[in-house]
């Protein structure tokens, strides 16, 4: 195996509706399934996933542009460009973009199990939006709730 360089804008593009997108830079195929790195863009007023906990992977974010608000339990924290957030197993969390511009961040997941969640969420959301007038955020939230458990993730209220 050789090193891998992925140019800006390149990678697997996964649309999530409403202009939200994941660009996968590393899918785990070069790291024995241990690492996913993706660039995510979320528009202003992005409808966030419900607060949830992961039971099989850690997740981290490095904010590149814009503002992202992270919630863990009852705590809310504004995260700006250059800031880092790490969420270990079992820690409740969600995020959204309170700004007036898109927010862009690297998301890092270990191991690579949760990448399949985003791929399924993107595919199902895209299909559903062709068939319904529902807002993308509502469609994405509904589908997310239907598939989270499959990826060892559960919605939580705290």
Report the distance separating Cα 24 and Cα 112, nearest Å: 11
Residue 1 domain flag: no
For the segment 33-86, what is each residue's pLDDT rounded down to a tens digit? 999 999 999 999 888 888 999 999 999 999 999 999 999 999 999 999 999 999
When divided into structural domains, the chain yields a total of: 1
- Cβ(23)–Cβ(9) below 8 Å: yes
Range of the domain at 139: 12-155
Residue 2 domain flag: no
| Token code pair at residue 40 | 């995510």
Residue 23 domain flag: yes
Residue 137 domain flag: yes
| CATH code of the domain covering residue 132 | 2.60.120.10
User: 């800031």: which residue's tokens?
Assistant: 83
Please tell me the pTM assigned to this model.
Answer: 0.88
Question: What DSSP character marks residue 112?
Answer: G
């Amino acid at each position: 195996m050789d090193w891998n360089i992925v140019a800006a804008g390149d990678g697997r593009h996964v649309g999530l509706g409403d202009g939200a997108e994941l660009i996968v830079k590393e899918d785990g195929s070069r790291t024995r399934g241990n690492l996913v790195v993706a660039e995510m863009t979320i528009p202003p007023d992005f409808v966030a996933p419900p607060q949830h906990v992961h039971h099989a992977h850690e997740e981290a974010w490095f904010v590149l542009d814009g503002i992202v608000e992270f919630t863990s339990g009852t705590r809310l924290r504004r995260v700006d460009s250059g800031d880092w957030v790490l969420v270990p197993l079992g820690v409740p969390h969600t995020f959204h973009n309170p700004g007036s511009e898109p927010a862009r961040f690297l998301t890092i997941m270990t191991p690579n199990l949760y990448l399949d969640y985003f791929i399924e969420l993107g595919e199902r959301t895209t299909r559903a939006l062709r068939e319904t007038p529902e807002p993308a955020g509502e469609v994405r939230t509904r589908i997310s709730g239907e598939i989270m458990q499959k990826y060892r993730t559960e919605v939580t209220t705290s």
